[in-house]
Structure 1
Amino acid sequence: MKIELNGRKAVVTGSTAGIGFAIAEGLARAGAAVVVNGRGEQRVTDALKELRRRFPNAEFSGVAADLSTSEGSTLLADQIDEADILINNLGTAHINGFFDQNDEEWLDLFQLNVMSGVRAARQFVPGMVKRGWGRVVFISSESAVNIPKEMIDYGMTKTAQLSVSRGLAELVGGTGVTVNSVLPGPTRSEILGNWMAATAREQGITQDEAEQNFLNTMRPTSLINRFTTTDEIANMVVYVCSEQASGTSGAALRVDGGVLRSIV
């Protein structure tokens, strides 16, 4: 299968590192013009520099904006008027105690993980519908189904993404626009990778050993028995954005290493 996205413009939120950066790479490799987004100017500049080094013939642009706020989302909309592909990747997670969290922490995470994607979809999807073609992908998590007791707020936001994604797919059905979610499992991304690296240093073990301990204790149902890579997540996303994936919409597609045990 040869995926070609020549002539398509993609916006990838939260794409200066980790899964988002790998998705930006994958889409550029397939021929799409890619808009990189991050919160700070320096992070965006550094990501663009590296992407242009790797893909000198590709088209990249960047928008530094905090999409957890309506002001940041407006800034993105002001600079990018339309897109054919929208990847709602922006998100974060924090280990926390349910009984210690306050309302503000819950609402802040909801704004970042959920409302950033809602606002971006409101901006870009109407144009996709008008043109009769578009791809929207929400990067959710296996934690949307297996709610982690140490990050209940995170699991809640990832479940909410599945609801938004499915509802939006229903709304634009029959227009040529597809909307799907991708559910990564434990991934050696910037956030989780850094956490595992710090854990390894504290315990005097290697990062591979720290990751294995995490799987054994926190995700023992993993079938691949390792963390997935950011490229493995990106491969699924690029396929979902392709012409070849035109028959897939409203789906929650797993790249979780088999952590989720349900068969549907």
Structure 2
Amino acid sequence: MNLDIKGKVAIITGADSGIGLETAKRLAEGGATIILADLKEEELQKAVGEVKAFAPNVTVTSVTVDITDNESVLRFAKQVKEDFNGAHILVNCAGARGAAGDFLTLTDEDWQETIDADLLGAVRLCRAFIPQLQENGWGRVVLVASENAYQPYEEESPYNACKAGIINLSKCLSRAYSKDGLLFNCVSPAFIATPMTDAMMDDLAKEHGTSREEAIEWFLKNKRPNLAVGRRGEPGEVANVIAFLSSNLASFVNGSNYRIDGGAVESAF
């Protein structure tokens, strides 16, 4: 599939593993210049090597960025402007599960930590990079939300609220900046095999005294019984949709949210 993004500059956050890394590979395969962003330099360098091996003829680089720190995000945007004359594509895969537990036990600090990573992180990135997309006269922004925005789980109230906010933010921005040639969309994955869900399953395995694989089976049966395909999704299955939304193929898709959930969300809407 020709994404028609050759020569575009693509920013992918949360890019050292999981959905972010697989998205980088898809966009690199389409001919885009790739800038990977995440917290740890060593992990980013490994990711750069993987993307280069996947698409050896494109430029791939990385920058350490903390999306919970506005100054870090602003420095990142300035560097992209100076080195690449600005971005065309922004994909925000960075985030965290954040604080979880009984609602009455969660403090303001717990909520703020999750909001900083899962909602304000996207706000900071969009605020920093939208001017570059406007200057370039073409832009695609894809924000990663979650099934939790539609089907919230009681122990993850901060995460649920932030991911619902991401979908609303994307819709808001799609109305504000479409006139400038920018399109904004979301994807909402469910139970994808990423480091975040691996950690959740490792904690569950420890709690139950089982292996990770047994914990996954228990979780699917008892916590995600509506996941119709009966398995965890793969990062590449989400990346395929993100790549489409980042491309010229999605030229009439704006303000939308794509659930990539294996049927996990019960409602049709």
Q: Secondary structure at the match of 1:117?
A: helix
Work out whether 1:84 is the aligned partner of 2:88: yes
Within-5 A mapping of 1:84-103: 84-94=88-98, 95-103=100-108
Residue 212 of structure 1: how far off its partner (Å): 2.5
Within-5 A mapping of 1:37-76: 37-76=37-76
CA contact under 8 A between 1:212 and 1:225: conserved in structure 2? Answer: no
Q: Kindly provide the amino acid, as one letter, of the partner of residue 133 in structure 1.
A: W
Alpha-carbon separation, structure 2, partners of 1:42 and 1:131: 32
Work out whether 1:34 is the aligned partner of 2:38: no
Alpha-carbon separation, structure 2, partners of 1:40 and 1:201: 27
Select between 196-205 and 164-173 the one with higher mean Cα deviation: 196-205
Which residue is 1:234 aligned to? 239
Q: Kindly provide the amino acid, as one letter, of the partner of residue 243 in structure 1.
A: N
Q: Secondary structure at the match of 2:154?
A: coil
2:122 counterpart (117, 123, 137): 117
1:164 counterpart (148, 160, 169): 169
Alpha-carbon separation, structure 2, partners of 1:127 and 1:202: 47
Q: Secondary structure at the match of 2:151?
A: coil
Alpha-carbon separation, structure 1, partners of 2:54 and 2:134: 33
Q: Secondary structure at the match of 1:223?
A: coil
Select between 95-104 and 205-214 the one with higher mean Cα deviation: 205-214
Within-5 A mapping of 1:169-248: 169-200=174-205, 203=208, 205-248=210-253
Residue 144 of structure 1: how far off its partner (Å): 0.9
Q: Deviations over 1:44-81 (max 9, x none)?
A: 22222332233322211111121111121122122112
Select between 124-133 and 35-44 the one with higher mean Cα deviation: 124-133
Alpha-carbon separation, structure 1, partners of 2:3 and 2:70: 34
Give ranges in structure 2 of 5+ residues lacking alignment. Answer: none
Alpha-carbon separation, structure 2, partners of 1:261 and 1:151: 18
Residue 35 of structure 1: how far off its partner (Å): 0.6
CA contact under 8 A between 2:4 and 2:249: conserved in structure 1? Answer: no
CA contact under 8 A between 2:190 and 2:261: conserved in structure 1? Answer: yes
Alpha-carbon separation, structure 2, partners of 1:120 and 1:219: 32
Which residue is 2:16 aligned to? 16
CA contact under 8 A between 2:17 and 2:195: conserved in structure 1? Answer: yes
Query: Percent identity between the aligned chains?
Result: 30
Residue 201 of structure 1: how far off its partner (Å): 5.9
Question: May I ask how many residue pairs the two structures share in their alignment?
Answer: 264
Q: Secondary structure at the match of 2:61?
A: strand
- Which 4+ residue blocks in structure 1 deviate beyond 4 angstroms? 201-206
Could you tell me the TM-score, scaled by structure 1's length?
0.94
Q: Kindly provide the amino acid, as one letter, of the partner of residue 239 in structure 1.
A: F
Select between 43-52 and 162-171 the one with higher mean Cα deviation: 43-52
Q: Kindly provide the amino acid, as one letter, of the partner of residue 89 in structure 1.
A: C
Residue 203 of structure 1: how far off its partner (Å): 4.2
Could you tell me the TM-score, scaled by structure 2's length?
0.92
